[in-house]
Amino acid sequence: PLPDYSPAVIIGTGYGAAATALRLGEAGVPTLMLEMGQLWHDPGPDGKVFCQMLNPDQRSMWFKNRTQAPLASFLWLDIANRDIKPYAGVLDRVNYGDMSVYLGRGVGGGSLVNGAMAVTPKRSYFEEILPRVNADEMYGKYFPRARAGLGVNSVDEQWFETCRSYQYARVSRKAAQKAGFSTTFVPSVYDFSYLRQEEAGTVERSALASEVIYGNNHGKRSLDKSYLAAALGTGHVTIQTLHEVREIIHQPDGSYTLVVREIDPSGAVVATKHVSTKHLFLGAGSVGSTELLVRARETGRLPDLPDAVGQGWGTNGNVMLGRANHVWDTTGSLQSGMPALGIDNWNDPVHPVFAEIAPVPAGLETWVSLYLAITKNPERGHFTYDVASDSAKLQWTAAQGQPSIDAAKAMFDKINSANVTIYRYDLFGDTRPFENRFTYHPLGGLVLGDATDDYGRVKGYRNLYVTDGSLIPGSTGVNPFVTITALAERNVERVLAEDVLA
């Protein structure tokens, strides 16, 4: 049952939300978390919590009639996607015209579906994107705190050189080095010792069974196993699932009342409820939190929200691409779904690129090297309110994605030329070699210092905070969850001391 009142409420259970919940709980603040997705704990009829990526069922996606996998095709055949029954599945793809955003749904948010890469941004770039945040404090205190809380670990470099799981990464490294690029190991929240046992055949496979985007049944330290478990362990934090916050009402006494819609896993609305709070934290992610505040401003619920609400959104410069490997350069059929290596050319003055070497977890030899490139795209989108659908719509055009392609092309043209290889044209539905019509890394919308003060306090309202990826101005130069977590750690420490406990 939902209480009428909780001293603190957090919307969402992703990275920012989870770090905030742990620190509030440790401080003894009774905290309620509201999550629209499910708790992924009970096994389905096949004995598994999450479905197979290569044979997805209704558990795969959030209310779709057909799965929408990022690799739309192979040899132009739509082999990846299946018709499914609409259901409260774990992966959402929110389609806005020229841009689609992938999101995790459930207790743990994006941590349930992501590639587990736990990368700390280069300090010089962090200082460039968030110049008003004290970098000494971040790199000395909050990044280490976040990595510890997340359970970040590194691959054994000797094992990496000989294992089957990363033959695909070694093939891509060789090609990159031939063009003069250097690679770097990528830390992870996937347990590498579990992966080694998977390869040895002593445990049930997860990363080696093509499990990634629809959830991992083993091996991954998703937030429900790290921060959220610790938060619940304080005894002061509770989580309500299948509860979607729709509206935020500001009461004359300064408190907030939330209008919450409870659904069942088939999508039927079970109840509409109200819960009030003094301290309200938005951790619904870049798309979720921004939509809540854009709707609140435009419907007159929170009329004093600044114009910066809904601005400064970016894709982290995401572009996906594939290269055709030489027939003798096999990657093997066994590929870890969790990347461990990236091509690091971020210091390039014209086209900075950090390209993670991604698996093609098809379970067979594909002769494809796949990459998710993170580029420095200066374009930013913004959200507008659509009355008819009572939702926020992202304004982003295909042309705004071009700088991402230009940067990735600069790197991979060189790699292709040095290796006499070509791009793959059959992976993304049509014949395009670069796919930038989706992002895994939505960032911004409620940018730190613009829509909020320098600690995530929303401008115009007291005791209203943003804790998630919407604070980051569109780009971090690396995979974002470590940055999101560290920033939340920093902000909640200040807010606890000055606002909540004061």
- Give the active site residues: 356, 441
Give min distance, CB of 445 to ligand FDA, in A.
10
Q: Helix, strand, coil proportions of the chain in percent (round to 5)?
A: 25, 25, 45
Q: Judged by CB, which is closer to ligand FDA: 107, or 415?
A: 107
Which position among 105, 323, 380, 382 is part of the footprint of ligand FDA (CB under 6 A)? 105
284 interacts with ligand FDA by CB under 6 A: yes
Rg of the chain over Cα atoms, rounded to whole angstroms, equals 22
Distance CA 174, CA 244 (A): 47
360 interacts with ligand FDA by CB under 6 A: no
Which position among 67, 153, 345, 479 is part of the footprint of ligand FDA (CB under 6 A)? 479
Which position among 9, 14, 210, 277 is part of the footprint of ligand FDA (CB under 6 A)? 14
Contact stretch for ligand FDA (CB under 6 A) within 227-235, 282-290, 381-389, 453-461: 282-290
Q: Judged by CB, which is closer to ligand FDA: 419, or 442?
A: 442
Which position among 25, 56, 109, 121 is part of the footprint of ligand FDA (CB under 6 A)? 109
Which position among 150, 213, 239, 320 is part of the footprint of ligand FDA (CB under 6 A)? 213
Burial of 136 (0-12, 13-18, 19+ CB in 10 A): exposed
Q: Within 10 Å of residue 189's Cβ, how many Cβ atoms?
A: 25
152 interacts with ligand FDA by CB under 6 A: no
The two tokens of residue 126 are 């962090």
Contact 133, 448 (CB under 8 A): yes
Which position among 21, 23, 32, 35 is part of the footprint of ligand FDA (CB under 6 A)? 35
Burial of 367 (0-12, 13-18, 19+ CB in 10 A): middle
16 interacts with ligand FDA by CB under 6 A: yes
Give min distance, CB of 232 to ligand FDA, in A.
16
The two tokens of residue 108 are 């743990």
Q: Judged by CB, which is closer to ligand FDA: 123, or 326?
A: 123
Contact stretch for ligand FDA (CB under 6 A) within 5-13, 191-199, 299-307, 362-370: 5-13
DSSP string, 196-254: HHHHHTSS--SGGGT-STT--SSSB--GGGTHHHHHHHTTSEEEE-SEEEEEEEE-TTS
Give min distance, CB of 374 to ligand FDA, in A.
10
Q: What does the chain come to in residues? A: 502
| Residues near ligand FDA (CB under 6 A), total | 40
151 interacts with ligand FDA by CB under 6 A: no
Which position among 405, 437, 481, 496 is part of the footprint of ligand FDA (CB under 6 A)? 481
Q: Can you list the positions of beta strands (E) in 266-317?
A: 269-282, 311-314
Q: Which amino acid is at 254?
A: G
25 interacts with ligand FDA by CB under 6 A: no
